[in-house]
């Protein structure tokens, strides 16, 4: 089925700034749209989020140039091509851009078109997106086990003011019942957590991702005790039904060789920080830890990996690896991580994202597709992608429409794959 038209629109993301939506039409008249998110604590090795820079519109964050790139540069090279050739379409856009980080066209331009192509191709074949992606890229996944929720329940760092230095504390579903059951357990614990935070005199306003951002929290360790209590009070077994995952997003509090824990008034070098983290590994049912060190602090990642391995904790790269096969290969060669966070917009195309997931899979690593903290949309392609590549978790916030859309899509897929779930 050939592509006949590609249009693009400036829409709003959850952060209140614009993002881009692309619409791809086929020769049979069918069209589909896709929109892309942006990060708040984006890694410096990520694909470019191109914005206009015209201060008269949205403080420079308009995307009218991105729309022009789609309609005037990308559309002419893709129109007339077979939409099912996803790899070829993505490669054509990558070649047209000509940079390592999609600086010319914008990663946001390329990704919006890339996902819209996949979505309309899936529709042309009468398949749900996850099935289309699985078959197109021969991922070999049989859907017998679906991704579980990694629900962000407390957030700080760049995602909220006056709270923890670490960016995210999550409740991860680890019981064998499947995503719908794990989502329920995690959300029940999230609501119980609200009562516990209140009882401790903390505010329960929420941050960027819809998780609690408790102003006045005493330390970076305190969330563990509140979350543990919440899981237990909700009636679940920590470490059996639900585990704890954290994302330090440490690049955000790193400068000149020091990690600055502002909340605790301490500046630590990497070995001291790792020693502090290790006290948590001793005490709490932690299943995964992410970006515990800065994005180019490779040697210390390798040192930390030896410790997380000993505690059977998955060490996830996010800003470190930016969904790039090049940086992932380096992390594999150095033995710096055991799992990878996946964000389509970090690399900027469906093909490159799936290549990263497959490289991880070949090396026995789990993939964890994730939402973005800066501005999300209601697009749920990341969930279909997670299912198509056999992702172990999806990391998404607990509340707000653009977040629960992802969990609702995951539960919908579970119903489709397994039949009724409740
Ligand atoms: P971001 O954060 O989307 O704001 O970059 C999410 C994460 O670091 O996982
Ligand atoms: Zn992260």
pLDDT digits (tens, 9 = 90+) for 89-145: 999 999 999 999 999 999 999 999 999 999 999 999 999 999 999 999 999 999 999
Beta-strand runs (E) in 142-204: 148-155, 168-173
CA 66 to each of CA 49, 53, 78: distance values in angstroms, whole numbers, following the listed order: 9, 11, 16
pLDDT at residue 4, as a whole number: 99
Distance from residue 291's CA to the centre of ligand 2 (Å):
6
Active site amino acids: 209, 343
Identify any residues that bridge with 38 across adjacent strands, giving them in sequence order: 375
Looking at every residue in the chain, the average pLDDT score rounds to: 98
Binning pLDDT at 50, 70 and 90, where does residue 325 land?
A: very high
- Assess contact for 196 and 184: CB atoms under 8 A: no
First to last CA, the chain: 38
Q: Which atom of ligand 1 is nearest to the CA of 41?
A: 5
pLDDT for the residue 358: 98
Q: Which residue among 372, 395, 402 is best mutated to probe the pocket of ligand 1, counting the most ligand atoms within 8 A of its Cβ?
A: 372
Residues near ligand 1 with C-beta < 6 Å? 39-42, 167, 247, 249, 318, 341, 370, 372-374
Q: Which is the closest atom of ligand 1 to the Cα of 39?
A: 3
User: How many other C-beta atoms can be found within 10 angstroms of the C-beta atom of residue 390?
Assistant: 22
Inter-CA distances, 373 with 159, 265, 377, Å: 7, 26, 11
Nearest CA to ligand 1 atom 2: 373
Mean pLDDT of 40-60: 97
From the alpha carbon of 374, which atom of ligand 1 is closest? Answer: 4
Contact 336, 307 (CB under 8 A): no
Measure 247 CA to ligand 2 centroid, in angstroms: 5
pLDDT at 293: 98
Hey, which of 370, 375, 397, 406 would you mutate to test ligand 1's pocket, going by the most ligand atoms within 8 Å of its Cβ?
370
How far is ligand 1, taken at its centre, from the CA of residue 38, in Å? 9
Residue 341 Cα: closest atom of ligand 1: 9
Q: Dihedral sign, CA of 222, 225, 229, 231?
A: positive
Burial readout 48-67 (b: 16 or more C-beta within 10 A, e: otherwise)? bbbbbeeeeebeebbbbbbb
In Å, how far are 101, 179, 396 from 324, measured between CA atoms? 10, 27, 21
- State the CB neighbour count (10 A cutoff) for residue 120: 23
Give the separation between CA 137 and CA 122, rounded to whole angstroms.
13
Given the DSSP bridges, would you call strands 266-268 and 168-173 parallel, antiparallel or unpaired?
unpaired
Could you identify the atom of ligand 1 that is nearest to the CA of residue 37? Answer: 3
Instruction: Tell me which residue of 116, 82, 81, 77 sits closest to 97, measured CA to CA.
Output: 77
% of the chain at pLDDT higher than 90: 99
Q: What is the average per-residue pLDDT within 338-367?
A: 98
Looking at the predicted structure, is the pLDDT value of residue 21 above 90?
yes
C-alpha 116/C-alpha 121 separation (Å) is 8
CA–centroid distance, residue 39 to ligand 1 (Å): 5
Burial call 247-282: b when 16+ CB within 10 Å, e when fewer: bbbbbbbbeeeebbbebeeebbebeebbebbeebbe
Each residue's pLDDT tens digit, 259-299: 999 999 999 999 999 999 999 999 999 999 999 999 999 99
Q: Which two tokens stand for residue 273?
A: 């920080």
Output the pLDDT for position 388: 98
The stretch 43-69 carries a mean pLDDT of 98
CA distance 377 to 153: 19
Which of 318, 323, 345 best tests ligand 1's pocket when mutated (most atoms within 8 Å of CB)? 318
Compute the distance from residue 82 Cα to the ligand 1 centre, in Å.
Answer: 34
Q: What pLDDT is stored for residue 7 in this prediction?
A: 99
| Residue range 371-398: mean pLDDT, rounded | 98
pLDDT higher than threshold 90 for residue 422? no
- Ligand closest to 290 (CA) is 2
pLDDT at 314 (0 to 100): 98
Give the distance (Å) from ligand 1 centre to CA of residue 80.
Answer: 37
């Amino acid at each position: 089925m050939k592509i006949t038209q590609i249009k693009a629109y400036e829409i709003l993301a959850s952060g209140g700034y614009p993002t881009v939506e692309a619409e791809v039409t086929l020769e049979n008249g069918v069209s589909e749209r896709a929109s892309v998110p942006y990060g708040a604590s984006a890694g410096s090795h990520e694909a470019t989020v191109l914005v206009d820079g015209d201060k008269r519109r949205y403080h420079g964050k308009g995307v009218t140039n991105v729309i022009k790139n789609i309609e005037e540069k990308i559309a002419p090279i893709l129109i007339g091509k077979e939409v099912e050739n996803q790899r070829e379409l993505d490669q054509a856009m990558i070649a047209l851009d000509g940079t390592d980080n999609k600086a010319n066209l914008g990663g946001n331009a390329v990704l919006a078109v890339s996902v819209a192509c996949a979505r309309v191709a899936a529709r042309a074949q009468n398949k749900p997106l996850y099935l289309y992606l699985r078959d197109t890229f021969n991922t070999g996944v049989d859907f017998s086990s679906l991704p579980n929720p990694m629900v962000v329940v407390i957030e700080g760092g760049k995602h909220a003011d006056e709270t923890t230095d670490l960016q995210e504390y999550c409740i991860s579903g680890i019981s064998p019942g499947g995503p719908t059951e794990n989502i329920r357990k995690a959300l029940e614990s999230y609501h119980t957590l609200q009562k516990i935070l209140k009882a401790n005199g903390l505010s329960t306003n929420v941050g960027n991702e819809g998780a609690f951002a408790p102003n006045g929290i005493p330390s970076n360790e305190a969330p563990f005790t509140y979350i543990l209590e919440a899981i237990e009070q909700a009636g679940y077994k920590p470490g059996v039904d639900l585990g704890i995952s954290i994302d330090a997003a440490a690049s955000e509090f790193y400068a000149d060789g020091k990690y600055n824990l502002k909340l605790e008034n301490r500046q630590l070098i990497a070995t001291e920080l790792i020693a502090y983290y290790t006290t948590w590994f001793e005490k709490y049912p932690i299943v995964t830890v992410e970006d515990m060190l800065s994005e180019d602090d490779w040697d210390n990642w390798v040192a930390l990996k030896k410790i997380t391995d000993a505690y059977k904790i998955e060490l996830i790269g996010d800003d470190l690896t930016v969904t790039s096969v090049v940086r992932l290969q380096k992390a594999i060669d150095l033995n710096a991580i055991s799992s990878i966070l996946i964000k389509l917009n970090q690399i900027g195309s469906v093909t490159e994202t799936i290549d990263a997931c497959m490289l991880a899979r070949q090396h026995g690593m789990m993939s964890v597709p994730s939402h973005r903290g800066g501005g999300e949309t209601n697009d749920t392609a990341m969930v279909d992608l997670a299912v198509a590549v056999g992702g172990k978790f999806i990391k998404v916030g607990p509340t707000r429409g653009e977040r629960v859309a992802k969990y609702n899509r995951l539960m919908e897929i579970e119903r489709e794959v397994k039949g009724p779930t409740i």
